[in-house]
Amino acid sequence: MTSIPTQSELSALALDTARRCGVDVDGLTGDVVTRSPINGQQVTTLGWRDAAYVDEAVGRAEEAFRAWRRVPAPARGALVKRFGELLAEHKDDLAVLVSIEAGKITSEARGEIQEMIDICDFAVGLSRQLYGRTMPSERAGHRLMETWHPLGVVGVVSAFNFPAAVWSWNTAVALVCGDPVVWKPSELTPLTSLACHAVLAQAIAEQGAPEALSQVLLGGPEVGQALVEHPGVALLSATGSTRMGRLVGPRVAERFGRSLLELGGNNAAVVSGSADLDLAVRGIVFSAAGTAGQRCTTMRRVIAHTSVVDELTDRLASAYGRLPIGNPMADGTLVGPMINQRAYDAMESAISAATGDGGKLVAGGGRALDDVAPDAFYARPAIVRMDAQTEVVARETFAPLLYVLPYDDFAGAIELNNAVPQGLSSSVFTSDQAEAELFLSPEGSDCGIVNVNIGTSGAEIGGAFGGEKETGGGRESGSDAWRAYMRRATNTVNFSGELPLAQGVDFTV
């Protein structure tokens, strides 16, 4: 029997841990109850901000921006460097809070905090590499160039499944680009958010930077909506469902703001007849069952060649049968709880729809540990064998639910991969170089992340993260994603003493 912490044990651990990170736990007052998915019981109560408070927060951020944009970028990088050092000091504490509030197993929770440390390292280097360009001018005695400048206040709306890392992707880069951040975190992970903010606040105080560079607003959807609609928010970075993105995108566009959207994913792996099945099974099981299927990059479809689909399905079902499900903070656990009953019910509904479409449930399904944790929702990761990609397969279900489909020719596999509204992550397992190159080519996967012989999840911060189609088109983290947080100016400098016009225009007065 898996031991599940009691309400008092988990609450005490969460509050003590938050206190060590610098959160004023004794000052938490209010009547909003927060719960842990580990046992489904109360962790603490706290108060929420209302929508009216957003205007005050953005006003403070705008004032901080006017000072921070004058600070040289390498000096801004020094703040982020210190933030990274403090994150390393509090890595274990922050990971505990992630586990308690999001239900992640310890190694994945620690991995999330390591992502925060890594993005700080990346951003520190970036602070000396915010490069513009010099272009040749067609006019003698002229210099043509572009420069990049701080953009303004960045609003961040984040989801429960990565309660710390996604905020840090935005914040570390925004800070070195010269922008303050106002953060509306998930209502489900408030202590993690407060702890992350407290760690950054310490770095800000030590560096003598404006206090309002970082603000966190605990509140309901109306607070997020106010942040989305506020004209003082230059860039709104939002992570969540496609449904949420359909609401956010137009509202930001209506006021001519910028949006960076990271939305749904319905990620697939193509497994060819030449694939190393040992490698494929390991990659698929982690991508599909890790984080209890609650990553945007979770693998939700396997498209396997008819020559290997039966064997692969059997091997996946066998591996699923051995997955340890339980308390995510206990040694040996690989699958923790789903976030709440609504998520579990959505999974069961999808399984029912898929089997109604002719699919066969070959592994998992149903609740686990309901006898020892009746208020929590531990799901058995499920595999459904399908003959065709039906409507339910093309729809993202945010759960540990994997569909296995067959294909006959590689072109058909690519077509199946692309035949969903989402376009976040994809992979191919193959030993055929031509297949790998085709999958990576313009005729291949239409996703923002396209991998070979690795699963769909587990992205590194050095590469830009994001997807196409209904995934939103945004890019965060590495590569040149920093450009979203800055404004570009094209400059022409005339040192000739004459005034020739471009394209040979003659306008002599």
Active site residues: 262
Whether residue 148 contacts residue 125, with contact meaning beta carbons closer than 8 Å, is answered with no
The two structure tokens encoding residue 465: 């993260």
Handedness of CA 80, 86, 88, 91 (dihedral sign): negative
Non-local CB neighbours of 411 within 8 Å, separated by 6+ positions: none
The two structure tokens encoding residue 495: 């040192």
Tell me the one-letter amino acid at 278.
D
Whether residue 186 contacts residue 215, with contact meaning beta carbons closer than 8 Å, is answered with no
Burial of 305 by CB count in 10 Å (0-12 exposed, 13-18 middle, 19+ buried)? buried
The two structure tokens encoding residue 429: 């397992």
Handedness of CA 504, 505, 506, 509 (dihedral sign): negative
Q: Give how far Cα 249 sits from Cα of 184, 242, 252, Å.
A: 16, 10, 5
- DSSP states of 96-127: HHHHHHH---HHHHHHHHHHHHHHHHHHHHHT
Q: Give how far Cα 190 sits from Cα of 44, 184, 252, 330, Å.
A: 10, 10, 25, 23
Non-local CB neighbours of 318 within 8 Å, separated by 6+ positions: none
Handedness of CA 200, 204, 206, 211 (dihedral sign): negative
CA distance 436 to 443: 12
Tell me the one-letter amino acid at 26.
D
Q: How many residues does the chain have?
A: 509
Handedness of CA 326, 329, 334, 340 (dihedral sign): positive
Whether residue 350 contacts residue 391, with contact meaning beta carbons closer than 8 Å, is answered with no
